[in-house]
Structures are given as structure tokens and as C-alpha cells.
Structure 1
Amino acid sequence: MYVPHFNAMTDDAEIRRLVAEIGSAQLITVGADGFPLATLLPVIWRDDTVIAHMARANQHWKAIGADRPVLLVVTGPQAYISPNWYASKAEHGKVVPTWNYSVVQLSGRATVHDDPHWVRGAVDELGDRHEGHRDEPWRSSDAPDKYIQGQLRAIVGVEISVERVEAKAKFSQNRSGEDRAGVVTGLLHEDSRDAVAVAEQMRAAGDRPA
């Protein structure tokens, strides 16, 4: 991934927090025919391991070769940036549109798990991650066991051993403070949750000590 130094995310806790907040990733591999395969999966990243699961009917899992590299792409909020938002436009007009976003790429090796015990553990951990904050969190034990066993047979687990982490936050860091302030104001007036989220991330990045 192309990461200019001023866009590089280097704080491990911040990178992991972004992945946890998004909660999903595109799993990308290369098939036997040389063409890429991609599947969006719910994920949990702990230590150097990512766990996930996918539908058994999805032929992608059969193309995951042992000890072959895989790529996980986690994409945060993103938004178009209008040149009209830059204070410098009025000064010299030398401005063009761009796109602000954050993204994490995890590279490593994947293992497919077809063991019901492992798969249920992954499902329960993913469920706990997203249900834990609720007043009455759902648990797989809430459903009839026979039903759950049938659902588990319809999926396979995927475990990725992470070997490389690259993260990028493109938040107009190469612009002046006045230009960045204009971008934040412009984004906050957009009718888009992603635009507002990018503005909030830009504010948070600006509040951090250099």
C-alpha cells in the first residue's frame, strides 16, 4: 500500500481500535486461475491472529491454499473533499479535489477450520463482541441446539496469522491548518454519515500531540 510518511498510522492501539470499530474486512486471495477472490467477513483481531467465518456455499474457502499469502483490507469512513473548502483556494486557486479515508491492511497466512467446535467458538466470540454492550445480549445458547448445529454446518472458520500490518489515515495532513479547518467544516455540512465521521476523525487527529 502506498503510504506517504505524513499519512502513516503507527500507533498499534489506534490501528487495532479502528479494526475493532469497523469489525469487518475484505479477505483477498488469488485463485488457481490467477484471478483475485474477495469476500467481506466479520473479523476479530487479537494478538497476531484474526478469526472469521464464511458460508460453506462460498467457494472462496476452497481456494485458500495452505501457507499461501492472504490480504485483509479494513476500510474506515471515507469522503470526497471539495477544493471549495480550502482557504487557500481564495489565495491562489491551485487546489484540486481529493478523497480522505483510513484503511488498514493485514497480510499473513490463512487456515480454514472445518471443525464444529472451533467454528462455534469463533461464532460465539464474534457474537460476544457485537452483543456484549446490549442490555440483553444474544447468545447462541438462546436458540435450539439442533438449529445452531445446522447453522454451524453451513459455515467454515478462517484463521489468519498476521505477519505484516500497514495502516493509513489520509486526513489532509499535507494541507495548512486553515485548509484542514475548512475541510472539517465542509464535511460536517454534508448529508453523509461517512463525511461526518471523517470530520470527527480529522478533529481527533488534530487534537493529538505531534
Structure 2
Amino acid sequence: MYVPPHFKIDELGAIHAAMRASRLATLVTATAEGLLGTPLPLILDEREGEYGTLYGHVARPNPQWRAPAVGEAMAIFTGPDAYVTPSWYLTKVEHGKVVPTWNYVAVHAYGPAEFFEDADRLLDVVTRLTNLHERSRAEVWQVSDAPADFIQAQLRGIVGIRMPITRIDAKKKMSQNRKLEDRAGVVAGLGASDNPVDREVATMIPMT
């Protein structure tokens, strides 16, 4: 991913926060037959490795786990994004030399893709994923709520993925390259949108 210096996220804690906020990632692997990609939720274990380790699972019929990866895998995480019209810029009034753009957050994490079929490890991943996404609910569902033999049967239908992160590209493009007056116009424009994601992006634009 192309990351100009003024859009780069350097601090690992901020990168991890962006990854955690992106509830669905895309796992991409290069194979002899071409690129393969799977949308899937991933757990970030920050305690494991220099940059953390990702865990998840794919359906057993998914060909991605069977096709040997050529080089590193890539997990793509995307955050809030919004279209930015040049009509919001003060500089449009001044000289008109402005064009549309897009504000967004993106993280690309790289590392070796390790697939596994061990039932105990799979149960751990499924349990951790479930706990992560159920914890904000008033009535929490747990894996143990289902019959054990049913869960074991379900585990036979998936394959686990472990990806130790070896490097990361992280980008937060939020109008930092525009002067303060233009950014103020973008904040006002997005803040008045009916789209809640636009309004979220408005809060992420730096005003200092």
C-alpha cells in the first residue's frame, strides 16, 4: 500500500486499535493459480510476536487453505471512509484548483499463513471469536450453550488460520494534506451528512 508520510500511522497501539475496530478483514494469499481472498473476522493477539498474531478460520470447502501460498499472506483491515467533494474547500472559491478525494483508514498486515485442523485449537479460536463479538450484547451467547457433540461436528467443517504478523502498512488519510480552512469545510460537510459513517469520519479529521 502506498503510504505518504503525512498519512502514515506509526504507533503500534493506534494500528492495533484500527485493526480491532475493523470487524471483518480480508485474507489474501498468492498461489500458483492466482490470488485468493476470503472475507473473515480475525482475532488480534497482541501478546504474541513483535506486531501481534492473527487467528481465524475458513470453511473447509474453501480452496484457499489447500493452495500453498507463495510468499507472505496479507490481511486487509478497513476503517471508516467517506467521499470528499472539493465544494467543501475554501480554496475552491479562491482559485478552483481542487479535485475530489476520499478519506479512509486502512491497515495491511503481512505474514506467513499457517492453516491448522486440530479440534482443540479450533475450539479455542471459535470461542475467542464468539466472546469478542458477543460481549457487548445484553444477552451473551456462548459456545458452551450449544450441545458439545454439535459443536464438535461444526468444527469438522472449518480450518483454522494463524498468521504471525511480520510487517504492517497503516494509513489514516483524513485531509491532513489540506490547509486548516479546507479541513474545516470537510468537517462541516461530512458532519451534516445523513450517513453515520460520514459523520464518524468528520470526527477523525485533525483540526490542529
Q: Is the 1:124–1:140 Cα contact (8 Å) retained in structure 2?
A: yes
Is 1:79 paired with 2:99?
no
- CA–CA distance in 1 between the matches of 2:123 and 2:170? 30
Q: CA RMSD in A?
A: 1.4
Aligned AA (1:107): Y
Query: Counterpart of 2:66?
Result: 62
Is 1:179 paired with 2:187?
no
Unaligned runs of 5+ in 1: none
Aligned AA (2:54): V
- CA–CA distance in 2 between the matches of 1:191 and 1:151? 41
Query: Counterpart of 1:188?
Result: 191
What's the secondary structure of 1:63's corresponding residue?
coil
1:191-206 residue pairs with structure 2 within 5 A? 191-202=194-205, 205-206=206-207
Q: Is the 1:64–1:110 Cα contact (8 Å) retained in structure 2?
A: no
Query: Counterpart of 1:17?
Result: 17
What's the secondary structure of 1:128's corresponding residue?
helix
Aligned AA (1:32): A
Is 1:29 paired with 2:29?
yes
**Percent identical:** 41
Once the two structures are TM-superposed, the CA of residue 146 in structure 1 deviates from its matched residue by 1.6
Query: Counterpart of 2:49?
Result: none
Alignment partner of 1:49 out of 13, 31, 53: 53
Q: Is the 1:43–1:52 Cα contact (8 Å) retained in structure 2?
A: yes
* Structure 1 stretches of 4+ moved >4 Å: none
Aligned AA (2:41): P
1:131-210 residue pairs with structure 2 within 5 A? 131-202=134-205, 205-206=206-207
- CA–CA distance in 1 between the matches of 2:197 and 2:26? 19
Once the two structures are TM-superposed, the CA of residue 206 in structure 1 deviates from its matched residue by 3.7
Unaligned runs of 5+ in 2: 47-51
User: How many aligned positions are there?
Assistant: 203
Aligned AA (2:66): K
Query: Counterpart of 2:106?
Result: 103
Once the two structures are TM-superposed, the CA of residue 64 in structure 1 deviates from its matched residue by 4.1
Query: Counterpart of 1:39?
Result: 38
- CA–CA distance in 1 between the matches of 2:104 and 2:192? 17
- 1:127-158 per-residue CA deviation (whole Å, 9 max, x = no partner) reads 11111233332110001112111111111100
Q: Tell me the TM-score normalized by structure 2.
A: 0.93
- CA–CA distance in 1 between the matches of 2:45 and 2:68? 21
- 1:29-85 per-residue CA deviation (whole Å, 9 max, x = no partner) reads 11222x1111111011113210011111211111144x8310111011111110001
- CA–CA distance in 2 between the matches of 1:10 and 1:179? 25
Q: Is the 1:73–1:104 Cα contact (8 Å) retained in structure 2?
A: yes
Alignment partner of 2:116 out of 100, 103, 113: 113
